[in-house]
């Protein structure tokens, strides 16, 4: 009886351990893995066993963050795990096309956190055991081509992050989006503070949204300006169009934005 009480408080109860079978995955792809379910000191009923893909998202202007779900898969429920049992439960997680990128050629993007959380809900348990494993999400070829073009133009990666918001004028599936921030190239450093790239991938193509923060040279009240003016632009890259000269197209649009429009620009 004492063992049953301890199991109800998470001591001596069933535990889970997930193992990812893919070293990396891409948006729109499938993440394969398995959950090892270890029985405790007594038989226990499982109310639910599942995995959830999470990403860390900035939820406000004060820098607060929260781990929000991207995709959830239910694996089992209302079953009995016998004491000392060792069960392997395979799983597949189909990643949404808008899943954020976390690595490029295996190099982690500063500021990004995507992980797979394994949840085990036990009947009568006070503490639910859970396990979280980092997931490496590599860019799609079209996404990588745009990032490579930015690098070839001399823009330097600063950081990346997730923002809980919706972009105007574009079809967005998830309630948050990724921002990949670049510092200006030498050709634009006197005009731009930064360039932010956002990818909204779809089955046939990727919508690329660019936000450029342009320095304001003269304030409306007189004197030197110390704020930035944001410009948005977007274009579509088909998954089959990775061979196009995106350096030329990106530079052309950026030069249009950089051109002076008036005394306050």
Q: Give tens-digit pLDDT for 103-155.
A: 998 999 999 999 999 988 877 564 455 668 999 999 999 999 999 999 999 99
Residue 41 confidence class, pLDDT cut points 50, 70, 90: confident
Q: What pLDDT, on the 0 to 100 scale, is given for residue 220?
A: 52
Fold assignment, 2-134: Immunoglobulin-like (2.60.40)
Read off the pTM: 0.86
61-80 confidence digits (pLDDT tens): 777 899 999 999 999 877 78
Question: Which long-range contacts link 105-108 to residues 24+ away (Cβ below 8 Å)?
Answer: 105/138, 106/24, 106/136
Residue 58 has pLDDT above 80, yes or no: yes
Query: Which sign does the torsion angle of CA 221, 223, 227, 233 carry?
Result: positive
Residue 205 has pLDDT above 80, yes or no: yes
Residue 224 confidence class, pLDDT cut points 50, 70, 90: very low
Q: Where in the chain is the domain with CATH 2.60.40.640?
A: 2-134
Torsion of CA 16, 19, 24, 28, to 10 degrees: -60
């Amino acid at each position: 009886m004492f063992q049953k009480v301890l199991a109800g408080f998470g001591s001596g109860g069933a535990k889970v351990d997930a193992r990812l079978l893919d070293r990396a995955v891409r948006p729109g792809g499938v993440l394969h893995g398995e959950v090892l379910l270890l029985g405790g000191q007594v038989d226990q009923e499982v109310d639910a066993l599942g995995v959830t893909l999470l990403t860390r998202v900035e939820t406000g202007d004060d820098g607060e963050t929260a781990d929000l779900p991207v995709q959830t898969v239910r694996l089992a429920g209302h079953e009995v795990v016998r004491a000392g049992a060792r069960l392997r439960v395979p799983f597949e997680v189909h990643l949404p096309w808008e899943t954020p990128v976390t690595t490029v050629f295996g190099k982690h993007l500063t500021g990004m956190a995507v992980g797979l959380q394994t949840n085990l809900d036990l009947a009568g348990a006070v503490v639910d055991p859970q396990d979280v494993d980092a997931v490496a999400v590599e860019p799609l070829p079209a996404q990588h081509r745009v990032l490579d073009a930015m690098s070839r133009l001399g823009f330097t990666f600063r950081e990346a992050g997730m923002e809980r918001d919706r972009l105007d004028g574009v079809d967005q599936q998830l309630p948050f989006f990724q921002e990949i921030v670049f510092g200006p190239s030498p050709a634009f450093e006197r005009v731009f503070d930064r360039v932010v790239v956002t990818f909204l991938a779809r089955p046939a193509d990727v919508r690329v949204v660019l936000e450029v923060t342009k320095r304001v040279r003269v304030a409306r009240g007189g004197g030197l300006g110390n704020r930035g003016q944001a410009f948005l632009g977007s274009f579509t890259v088909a998954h089959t169009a990775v061979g196009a000269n995106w350096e030329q197209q990106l530079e052309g649009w950026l030069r249009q934005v950089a051109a002076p429009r008036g005394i306050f620009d």
